[in-house]
Every structure is written in structure tokens, then in C-alpha cells.
Amino acid sequence: MTKDTVFPEKGIKAYRSSFLDFLDDPFYSPEADCVRFIQDGLLVLDNGKIREIGDYEQLKDRYLDIPIVSYPGMLIMPGFIDTHIHYPQTEMIAAYGEQLLEWLTKYTFPTEGKFKDKDYAKKVAAFFLNELLKNGTTTALVFAAVYPQSADAFFEEAYSRNLCMIAGKVMMDRNAPDFLLDTPESSYTETKELIEKWHKKGRLRYAVTPRFSITSSNAQLQMAGKLLKEYPDVYLHTHLSENVDEVAWVKELFPECSGYLDTYDQAGLVGNRSVFAHGVQLTDEEFQCLSAAKSAIAFCPTSNLFLGSGLFKLEQAKSKEYPVKVGLGTDVGAGTSFSILQTANEAYKVSQLRRQKPTPFQALYLATLGGAKALELQDYIGNFNVGKEADFIVLDLRATPLMTFRNPAPKPTTLEELADAVFTLMMMGDDRAIHATYIMGQLAYEKTGK
């Protein structure tokens, strides 16, 4: 080290390890063109943003005076992105025995009622965010409860952690217990206030969040559409075509609409910042409509299996003719794990039941850059391109004795070996495989013990 540092300015940091991220979508382009794998790489940050990434040997001379954090034998990836999750349902994960509509009535609605108490909501939000970080998830699209203070609680906790999170208060004005209902007018006013308060504050974004067409009247959906017109860069987050009985009920409730998606479309809710959870029961026409509108689907396999909703047609969403943006969603509390790795495990199983087989790289693309594109955040996060915000995770492919036994070589050297290694990661990995999580270059979680 010399006294004349090459980069004397504050905020330069560097990390040495293996790196994996995606430059393009491996559902549409050859994997060799999409996967960026640097066996011995250096990731250089400048005030929490990516300044440079490349081979360690090529870059090291230019960063002689920068302290380098090394993670030998680990794999660094962009943080995982969860495109659909409910924070108030954390405490009711794994509730027994029901399919969607009964499950909502029996478990969800009573639980969400507790979130009128802001102190309680803050406690749960804090636990929830810590679980996300522990599982390597750095960005999520999140349902709060109907109470505006439940959204405040979430945003306050996310803001204090400098997280890139999108959330919204639920809008619901019918077909639920009175204590959970708002009205078209109150939901409009409260949402508007929340948007003004939180949208683009720090790294936060707001999503207008009608629960689904069963609990929102057409008048309320129209109010949601009005908000989207007034604030064209906020999001729309809702559920769509999850369960057969749900779809049938929506048809009864909206006889004037051609189908479930149309109930949203007629209110102006189907656009390029709209994210629809599930889509298990979508028709061909609805897939085409989502493609034309550049809307996104959150594929939530552990939830779809847990509630017996069905098998999402991933290959149809990712078709060449009518491509639809797709991200992975845990959908906790109907989903059974906070881990995007476990979610990818069950995404693979759902596909296998349909005689499809997404590759390991396709799955990890959905978990990172694909999720960022689904959330229209690809300019900020999702891979290690220069200028992006440095939310990243340090993965241990040998986090358990069984993973070590399965991966005896210390680290992969070819793309084929890497594919095998990351497939074992997504089939056997869980929070134990997350060695550390960084938010804009700051250590936000580190695993203790092995």
C-alpha cells in the first residue's frame, strides 16, 4: 500500500469471490449469452452502487489501496427478488387444511385484523424484513393490511433498513368482515396520502393494492384506476385467477366482464407496472392481453401447491409469441417458505408435473433480473451492471453436510459445472445457504455458525 491511493474518495469498497448474474433472459437467448460467471472476480462499489465488475487479476492493480473483502469458495449473486408476499401473514404461515376462499375466511381475515394496531404491525414488519434478509431477499412487492397504519409501519421499517421495497395498503370494500373493509372513497383518500408520503422516499415505491375482484367492488377498482392515472409511476399489485372457485365467483360478481382479467382491465389496472399474483387459471386470451399490456405475473409455486390451486403454465407465460414478464413469489403466508431457493425448488417440481423443465439458470434469472424486470426495477437492481444499486448476497453452496457431499469440488469452473452446482443449491438450499446479505454495499445480515 502506498499513501497515494488510486481512489482516495470515500465510499469505494471491493469484494472478491465468484460471481454469477444475468445479462439477458435465458428463456429467449442462449444461456452462454445470458449468464455472466466470473470464477475469481472483483466487484467494486462506489457509495453503494456498482462501479465495476471483472476478473480479479485484471482489476486488482487498479484497486491496490482499497480494502477488499474476500469470500473464497462462495458465490456472490444479486439479491433475490420476491414479487408477491403478504407481511401481515407471517404469523399464520402453514395454516392447515383449506383452499383459497376458505383459507382467507378462516385464517387470513382474523389475522389481518390485528394490524390495526400500529405497534403490533411494526413488530411484525421488523421480523418479516429480517426473515427476508436472512433468506437473501433484498427486494419484495408486499401486501400490507387494509389499515393505512399497517402500510406506514412497513414503510418505516423498510426505510430504516435502506431497502428497495414496494408495498401498499390493501383496498377491500366487500365480502370480508366489517373490521377489514374500507370504501371506494376512503381507500382512494388513504392510498393517495400514503403515495404522497412514501412513494420514492429513499428506495421505497408504492403499489396500489386492491386485494382482488372478490373483495373490491367495481367502484373501488375504478378508484384504483384513478390513482394510477394520477400517479403514473406507482404500481398495481393484486391477485388474479388463482383458484377455480375464485374464478367462478368473479364471473358471478362481474357479469358484464369477459373474464377475470377484464375486471381489472375495464378499470384501467392492466399496464406495464401491474403485477398479478398467481395466474394459475388464466385463459390463452388473458395471457395474450397481459403480454400486450407488458404486465407481470408473480409465479408462487409453494403457495399454489399448499392451497391446491394448481400448476402455473410457466412455458406459456415465457412463450416467444406472447411473452409475459414473470417473477417468483413466495406468497407467504399461503406460501410455505420465505426462501426463494425453496420457491425455485417447487417451481421446478410444478414444471416437471407439466413435463417442462426450466433450467437452473432460467430459475435463477426469474429470482433476480427477471424479478427486477417484472417490477420495472431493472434500471436499479437485478444484476451487477455498472451504476446499479449493490444489493447482493453471498451464497454458500456447501452450507450443509449433504450439500458438501453433493458438491465435493470446492467450486465450479465451467458453465456446465456451475449449472449443476446452482441446481443443487435451489433443490437443497434454504436460508442456511445465505452466508451474508448486503444492501447497497452495507452488510445487512450475516449467518452465525455453520
Stretch that binds a second copy, among 127-135, 269-277, 314-322, 375-383 (CB under 8 A): 127-135
User: Hey, what amino acid is at 95?
Assistant: A
Helices (H), 294-442: 301-306, 314-317, 340-353, 360-367, 369-374, 401-406, 415-428
Give the Cα separation of 126 and 154 in Å (integer).
Answer: 8
Return the number of the residue (4 or 96) whose C-beta is nearest a second copy. Answer: 96
**Cα 232 to Cα 373: distance, rounded to the nearest angstrom:** 17
Count, in order, helices (H) and strands (E) of the chain: 18, 16
Which of the residues 226 through 245 are near a second copy (CB under 8 A)? none
| Shortest distance (Å) from residue 449 CB to a second copy | 5
Residue 244: how many CA atoms within 13 Å on its side-chain side? 4
Cell of 34: 445470458
**CA contacts within 13 A on the Cβ side of 367:** 33
Residue number, 49 or 406, with CB nearest to a second copy: 406
Q: Which residues contact 232 (CB under 8 A, 6 or more apart)?
A: none
Task: Yes or no: say if 43 and 14 are a contact pair by the CB < 8 Å rule.
Answer: yes
Subset of residues 71 to 90 that bind a second copy, contact rule: CB under 8 A: 90
C-beta closer to a second copy: residue 128 or 147: 128
Q: With CB under 8 A, what is the number of residues at the site for a second copy? A: 49
The stretch among 140-148, 270-278, 344-352, 386-394 that binds a second copy (CB under 8 A) is 344-352
Task: Give residues with Cβ within 8 angstroms of 288, minimum separation 6.
Answer: 322
Q: Which stretch binds a second copy (CB under 8 A): 138-146, 163-171, 232-240, 419-427?
A: 419-427
Q: Which is nearer to a second copy, 30 or 449 (CB)?
A: 449
Instruction: Check binding of 246 to a second copy (CB under 8 A).
Output: no
Which residue of 11, 72, 177, 308 would you call a contact of a second copy, by CB under 8 A? 308
Site for a second copy contains 310 (CB under 8 A): yes
Report the residue from 137, 430, 435, 439 that binds a second copy according to the rule CB under 8 A. Answer: 430
User: Which residue, 153 or 221, has its beta carbon nearer to a second copy?
Assistant: 153
Amino acid at 306: F
- The single residue among 22, 264, 287, 423 that binds a second copy, judged by CB under 8 A, is 423
In this structure, are residues 237 and 141 in contact, taking their beta carbons and an 8 Å threshold? yes
With binding defined as CB under 8 A, does residue 402 bind a second copy? yes
Q: Does 131 contact a second copy by CB under 8 A?
A: yes
Gyration radius of the chain's alpha carbons: 22
Contact segment (CB under 8 A) with a second copy among 11-19, 29-37, 92-100, 164-172 equals 92-100
Cα separation of 343 and 346, whole Å? 5
CB atoms within 10 A of CB 36: 16
Q: How far is the CB of 364 from a second copy (least distance, A)?
A: 13
Task: Judge contact between 389 and 49, C-beta under 8 A.
Answer: yes
Q: Which stretch binds a second copy (CB under 8 A): 150-158, 262-270, 335-343, 389-397?
A: 335-343
| Paired strand residues for 12 | 46
Nearest distance, CB of residue 343 and a second copy, angstroms: 13
Q: Of the ranges 1-9, 196-204, 251-259, 402-410, which one interacts with a second copy (CB under 8 A)?
A: 402-410
Q: Which stretch in 146-154, 196-204, 333-341, 438-446 sits in contact with a second copy by CB under 8 A?
A: 333-341
> By C-alpha distance, which of 413, 404, 399, 391 is closest to 40?
413
d(Cα 85, Cα 338) in Å, to the nearest integer? 9
Site residues for a second copy, 359-398, by CB under 8 A, read 359-360
DSSP 389: B
Residue 324 phi/psi, 5-degree rounding, is -120, 140
Residue with Cβ nearer a second copy (385 or 424): 424
Check binding of 281 to a second copy (CB under 8 A): no
Residues forming the site for a second copy (CB under 8 A):
90-99, 127, 130-131, 134, 305-308, 310-311, 336-338, 345-346, 348-349, 351-355, 357, 359-360, 400-402, 405-406, 419-420, 423-424, 427-428, 430-431, 449
